[in-house]
Amino acid sequence: MTGQQSLFADMPPPPERRDRLFFAVLPDAHTADRIFRFAQTLRAEHGMTTRVQDAGRMHVTLHHLGDFAGVPQHVVEAACGAASTVRAAPFDVVFDSAGSFSGKPGKLPLVLRGDDNPGLRALQRALGAAMAKALLPPDASFTPHVTLLRDPVSAPAASIDPIGWRVREFVLIHSLIGQTLHVPLGSWTLQD
């Protein structure tokens, strides 16, 4: 066993995975600002101390493609190819509850939820099928939500005045992990 350990001791550590790729739908700027303000109110009501996610980064993840050390162009190309085959009409999304998901201790996601979003679910399934054809593993489960912040304090689920918007496109995002930066790599318009 000692001989095996010495073999691995000389190996450099694997590169850090700081590049995340995912498909998402984004709220329009007005709705993103409304979500941001609402999140600030929830934060204060529950005595949370972490900052609210920037309005420009509010989104609903459709499929997570992975975390990487660098942006793998073959994954981006396959994802863009898959996305270009998806056909869907524009639709409305509505989020009518808020509360915390379970998560890593100290980093519980406070989210908006909306379980009754058939258009969103249909787009997520269609994109997943296209990804599978392109040999990209789609997410097996999907819970429509918008993450507002992550905090040690947990907020119970509660109904809210609905917040929604018209989805007219979906995007491929490159998230620079730890830098609070999202870079759009492509977008696909939904058409009737």
In this prediction, residue 66 carries a pLDDT of 95
Mean model confidence pLDDT for the chain: 92
Tokens of 135: 């040999």
Does residue 74 fall inside a structural domain?
A: yes
Give the residue among 44, 19, 49, 10 at the shortest CA–CA distance from 183: 19
Does residue 4 fall inside a structural domain?
A: no
**Segment 2-26, tens digit of pLDDT:** 555 555 556 655 557 689 999 999 9
3-state helix, strand, coil in the chain (%, to 5): 30, 35, 35
Q: How many domains does the chain have?
A: 1
d(CA 63, CA 17): 18
> Residue 119: in which H helix or E strand, if any?
helix 118-133
Asked if residues 91 and 168 have their Cβ atoms less than 8 Å apart, the reply is no
Average pLDDT over residues 20-47: 97
Does residue 130 fall inside a structural domain?
A: yes
In this prediction, residue 1 carries a pLDDT of 47
CATH number at 52 reads 3.90.1140.10
Does residue 102 fall inside a structural domain?
A: no
Does residue 38 fall inside a structural domain?
A: yes
**Segment 86-126, tens digit of pLDDT:** 999 999 999 999 999 987 777 899 999 998 899 999 999 99
Residue 81's domain comprises 16-95+119-143+165-189
Q: Pairing mode, if any, of strands 60-68 and 158-167?
A: unpaired
What's the pTM? 0.89
Does residue 31 fall inside a structural domain?
A: yes
Does residue 135 fall inside a structural domain?
A: yes
Does residue 1 fall inside a structural domain?
A: no
**Segment 152-177, tens digit of pLDDT:** 999 999 999 999 999 999 999 999 98
